[in-house]
Amino acid sequence: MNGSLRVPGDKSISHRAIMLGSIALGTSRVSGFLEGEDSLSTLAAFRRMGVCIEGPDNGCLVIQGVGMDGLKAPDGPLYLGNSGTSMRLLAGLLSGQVFPVTLTGDASLSSRPMRRVTEPLARMGVQIGTSTQGTAPLHIDRRNRRLTGISYQLPVASAQVKSSLLLAGLYADGETCVSEPAPTRDHTERMLRSFGYQVRRDGSSICLTGGGVLRATDLDIPADISSAAFFLVGATIAEGSDLLLEHVGINPTRDGIINILRLMGADIEVLNARSVGGEPVADLRVRSAKLRGVAIPPDQVPLAIDEFPVLFVAAACADGETVLTGAEELRVKESDRIQVMADGLRLLGVDARPTADGMVIRGGTISGGRVQSQGDHRVAMAFAMAALRASDTVVVEDCDNVNTSFPGFVDLAAAAGLAIRDSMEG
């Protein structure tokens, strides 16, 4: 894989830009927005709540913020597709609104756990109806009660739950404090500050006081390190590679992929590190390297939580054994990423043994074959990269959801040197 490329904008930051820009006072201009289905679901939801948003035009948006209390009741349920971030963060933000609202999603999203947000939000004063399994659709109705701030210790390290409670906290009486068992991505906190809202960190707690105002700001969204991850692994495992990934977000709550790959022996240089709109950004140069198996340090797990599908592919190309533990959260992502990845790797002849909370992989050779992505975007792209080292063609089934996070993946990967084609396009 050779040349230089810029992967699309950060998905987490794109969601938050729409949400905070919509409830700010004034006009926010955004560049680098991810035009993927997930962030477009968030955009469509706010349009349906009366926010005027121009674009996206080449990643640029103009959001006419309506202020904290300016959202209007949508004319029906808000459909959020495959996007867990939209549903969990909106559950918090919409708990603060005077109107009732229903949130729905596709089959994958409708099977993901929502009690992790509905239970603490109930403690703040809003009852949210779910299915008996605690899944979507979510029916949110505050019934004119006021929200009260709470102090909440997160049982799982989850940025979505943290962010959901902080967004509800904007509308609550008093202070809302969320304490996390391990650092999770902090884009919400950083962006709230960019919109002029005070957020306090106190040890492992993040606190804010309700009733303030967000003021419009301009945002330049970096390229998504979770999308860059496929190329970091691809260029590492393909012989003769030298690839430059431009303008990638390297927020220290997201850089587990760089740390873990380096521990395995990868050659990744961080160049031209700079700060862009409150987020650290750099160009990443990656060259081929021989990898060795490692025990993945537990503190890196939340910092690389979305990157394990492609890290498993790296492990399959490494000398020796790679052991992941403490990652049971992978079982409740867009698919059960432990099972789905283990099934696909085994089908390609890799010694991959799933465990309750991780996987043990012994590196070796990879054969060709037809693998199921189970509709999971990151699983599909991870197996595409496995083809760089496979002895025969790898066919990945059910790839439509690649568009949720990485529109243009096939063309960009092909331009970098991967022999890939979309069979639906002939």
Annotated catalytic residue within 75, 306, 357, 376: 306
Q: Smallest gap, in angstroms, from Cβ of residue 262 to ligand S3P? A: 22
Work out which of 1, 12, 221, 315 binds ligand S3P, going by CB under 6 A: 12
**Which residue in this structure is represented by tokens 């509800």?**
168
Work out which of 224, 306, 307, 376 binds ligand S3P, going by CB under 6 A: 306
Question: Which phi and psi (to 5°) does residue 157 adopt?
Answer: -70, 100
Which H or E run includes 269? strand 267-276
Q: Compare residues 85 and 97 and give the one whose CB is closer to ligand S3P.
A: 85
Give the binding range for ligand S3P (CB under 6 A) out of 157-165, 205-213, 239-247, 382-390.
157-165
> Could you say whether residue 190 binds ligand S3P (CB under 6 A)?
no
Q: Smallest gap, in angstroms, from Cβ of residue 251 to ligand S3P? A: 11
SS (H, E, C) 360-425: EEECCCECCEEEECCCCHHHHHHHHHHHHHECCCEEEECCCCHHHHCCCHHHHHHHHCCCCCCHHH
What are the strands, taking DSSP E only, across 32-163?
52-57, 60-66, 78-79, 101-104, 127-129, 138-141, 151-153
Q: Smallest gap, in angstroms, from Cβ of residue 196 to ligand S3P? A: 22
Which H or E run includes 166? helix 159-169
Let me know if 186 is a catalytic residue.
no
Give the binding range for ligand S3P (CB under 6 A) out of 69-77, 154-162, 195-203, 408-416.
154-162
Give the binding range for ligand S3P (CB under 6 A) out of 120-128, 156-164, 229-237, 418-426.
156-164
Interacting positions 17-56 with ligand S3P (CB under 6 A): none
Q: Compare residues 41 and 160 and give the one whose CB is closer to ligand S3P.
A: 160
Cα(67)–Cα(211) distance, integer angstroms: 12
**Under DSSP, is residue 313 helix (H, G, I), strand (E, B) or coil?**
helix
Q: Report how many residues bind ligand S3P under the rule CB under 6 A.
A: 10
Q: Smallest gap, in angstroms, from Cβ of residue 306 to ligand S3P? A: 5
Work out which of 42, 82, 97, 158 binds ligand S3P, going by CB under 6 A: 158
Q: Smallest gap, in angstroms, from Cβ of residue 252 to ligand S3P? A: 15
**Under DSSP, is residue 161 helix (H, G, I), strand (E, B) or coil?**
helix
Work out which of 48, 142, 185, 337 binds ligand S3P, going by CB under 6 A: 185
Q: Smallest gap, in angstroms, from Cβ of residue 317 to ligand S3P? A: 24
Q: Smallest gap, in angstroms, from Cβ of residue 38 to ligand S3P? A: 9
77 preceded by a cis bond (ω within 30 of 0)? no
Q: Compare residues 191 and 245 and give the one whose CB is closer to ligand S3P.
A: 191
Cα(146)–Cα(233) distance, integer angstroms: 48
Residue 180 Cα to chain centre, angstroms = 18
> Could you say whether residue 163 binds ligand S3P (CB under 6 A)?
yes
Cα(270)–Cα(140) distance, integer angstroms: 44
Work out which of 82, 160, 236, 374 binds ligand S3P, going by CB under 6 A: 160
Site string for ligand S3P, 327-366 (x = CB under 6 A): --x-------------------------------------
Interacting positions 363-422 with ligand S3P (CB under 6 A): none
> Could you say whether residue 85 binds ligand S3P (CB under 6 A)?
yes
| DSSP string computed for 66-93 | E-TT-----SSPEE-TT-HHHHHHHHHH
Q: Smallest gap, in angstroms, from Cβ of residue 154 to ligand S3P? A: 9
Q: Other CB atoms closer than 10 Å to residue 364's CB: what's the count?
A: 12
Q: How far is CA 378 from CA 131, 137, 262, 310, in A?
A: 27, 24, 21, 8
Interacting positions 90-129 with ligand S3P (CB under 6 A): none
Cα(421)–Cα(426) distance, integer angstroms: 8
> Could you say whether residue 225 binds ligand S3P (CB under 6 A)?
no
**Exposed e or buried b per residue across 38-77, where buried means at least 16 C-beta atoms within 10 angstroms of its C-beta:** bbbbbbbbbebbebebebbeebebbbbbbebeebeebeee
Which residues contribute to the site for ligand S3P (CB under 6 A)? 12, 85, 158-160, 163, 185, 305-306, 329
Task: Return the active site residues.
Answer: 306
